[in-house]
């Protein structure tokens, strides 16, 4: 994860951007983006990997590293892949991220960061990266979600590699499923993202939060019942537009995650405002 070059999972951190006004009309909002880094860990090196990842987080905390580039949410999968999701407000932020991370290697703890890199490289077989953009029309958030984000420590990822030229049609079927879910009052959220930098494009990733694997399976059964036969037709159409599908679950790993002091402060202020009903 310290090398900042990867192809990845989307996970649970996914972002917001601002908009500016133009004369007589509002400019479109910036795309909501996330960059995800994936580390594929050697089976014999899992303990060593998690050890160095924890040391990396500890060093960030010790340095009080304060930049959006250092915000990441970590997830682990059963195939020994660890993914790290970082929000971005623009594609230009990729350059800023690289600059901020490289700045750590030029500071007083240069030797420590280089040692962490060496240990990390020994523990992984390869690493990947992807950048994804939120697709709000293909996403779904109920008026009253069944779970809070604090309760949802598990994420199910659905990855669809779509036939080239069929992206618009694919999204339309996803939008129809979101509308059917809303009509049925379905209580669980999913977030849709289009992969805009990475391999095997065009691809879309859907993230469904849940308490655990069993909770997700029960939610999926309830959803299929809620969308009925009409929804199943849209699902069949989606699969007909799909060249390759992969689905897997991941757990949020707070010990391997880091939020900068500014991000923590902003979150605390937002929570305080919500508590006072502002």
Average pLDDT in the 227-243 region? Answer: 97
Predicted confidence (pLDDT) per residue in 133-165, tens digit: 999 999 999 989 999 878 889 999 999 999 999
With a CB cutoff of 8 Å and minimum separation 6, the contacts of 77 are: 9, 83, 248, 249, 250, 251
Q: Give the angle 5-74-264 at the CA atoms, nearest 5°.
A: 110
pLDDT given for residue 277 in this prediction? 65
Q: Residue 250: which of 52, 28, 84 has the closest Cα?
A: 84
Class for the domain spanning 27-133+251-275: alpha beta
Determine the pLDDT at residue 270. Answer: 82
C-alpha 179/C-alpha 15 separation (Å) is 23
Tell whether the model's pLDDT for residue 97 goes beyond 90: no
pLDDT of residue 26: 36
pLDDT at residue 32 greater than cutoff 90 = no
Does the pLDDT of residue 170 top 70, yes or no? yes
Mean residue pLDDT of the chain comes to 85
Bond prior to 202 in cis (omega within 30° of 0): yes
pLDDT above 50 (res 5) = no
In CATH, what class is 135-250?
alpha beta
The pLDDT score that the predictor gives to residue 12 is 36
Task: Spell out the SS3 assignment of 223-260.
Answer: HHHHHHHHHHHHHHHHHHCEEEEEEEEEEECHHHCECC
> Where does the chain hold its CATH 3.30.70.100 domain(s)?
27-133+251-275, 135-250
In this structure, the number of other CB atoms found within 10 A of the CB of residue 232 comes to: 12
Cβ partners under 8 Å of residue 119, min gap 6: 48, 52, 55
pLDDT value at residue 91: 80
Please, which residues bridge with residue 191 across strands?
A: 207
What does the DSSP 8-state code read for residue 12? S
Separation between Cα atoms, residue 33 and residue 197, nearest integer Å: 11
Query: Residue 216 is inside which H or E element, if any?
Result: helix 213-240
In this structure, how many other beta carbons lie within 10 angstroms of the beta carbon of residue 22? Answer: 9
With beta carbons less than 8 A apart as the criterion, state whether 174 and 138 touch: yes
Average pLDDT over residues 47-52: 96
pLDDT in tens, 239-251: 999 999 999 999 9
Residue 169: its pLDDT value, please? 97
Q: What is the percentage of the chain residues whose pLDDT exceeds 90? A: 63
Nearest residue to 177 (alpha-carbon basis) of 127, 230, 247, 220? 230
Q: Grade residue 30 by pLDDT with cuts at 50, 70 and 90.
A: low
Q: Per-residue confidence at 195, pLDDT binned at 50, 70, 90?
A: very high
């Amino acid at each position: 994860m310290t090398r900042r070059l990867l192809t990845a999972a989307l996970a649970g951190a996914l972002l917001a951007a601002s908009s500016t006004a133009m004369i007589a009309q509002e400019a479109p909002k910036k795309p909501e983006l996330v960059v995800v880094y994936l580390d594929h860990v050697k089976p014999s090196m899992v303990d060593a990997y998690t050890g160095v990842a924890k040391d990396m987080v500890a060093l960030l905390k010790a340095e009080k590293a304060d930049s959006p580039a250092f915000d990441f949410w970590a997830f682990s999968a059963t195939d020994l892949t660890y993914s790290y999701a970082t929000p971005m407000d623009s594609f230009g932020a990729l350059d800023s991220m690289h600059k901020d991370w490289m700045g750590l290697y030029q500071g007083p703890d240069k030797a420590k960061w280089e040692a962490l890199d060496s240990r990390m490289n020994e523990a992984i077989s390869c690493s990947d990266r992807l950048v994804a953009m939120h697709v709000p029309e293909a996403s779904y958030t109920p008026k009253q979600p069944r779970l809070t984000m604090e309760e949802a420590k598990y994420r199910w990822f659905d990855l669809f590699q779509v036939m080239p030229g069929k992206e618009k049609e694919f999204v339309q079927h996803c939008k129809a499923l979101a509308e059917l879910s809303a009509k049925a009052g379905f209580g669980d959220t999913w977030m849709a993202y289009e992969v805009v930098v990475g391999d095997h494009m065009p691809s879309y990733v859907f993230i469904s939060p849940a308490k655990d694997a069993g909770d997700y399976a029960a939610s999926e059964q309830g959803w299929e019942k809620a969308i009925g036969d009409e929804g199943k037709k849209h699902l069949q159409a989606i699969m007909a537009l799909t060249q390759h599908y992969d689905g897997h679950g991941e757990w949020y790993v707070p010990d391997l995650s880091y939020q900068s002091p500014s991000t923590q402060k902003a979150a605390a202020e937002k929570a305080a405002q919500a508590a006072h009903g502002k």
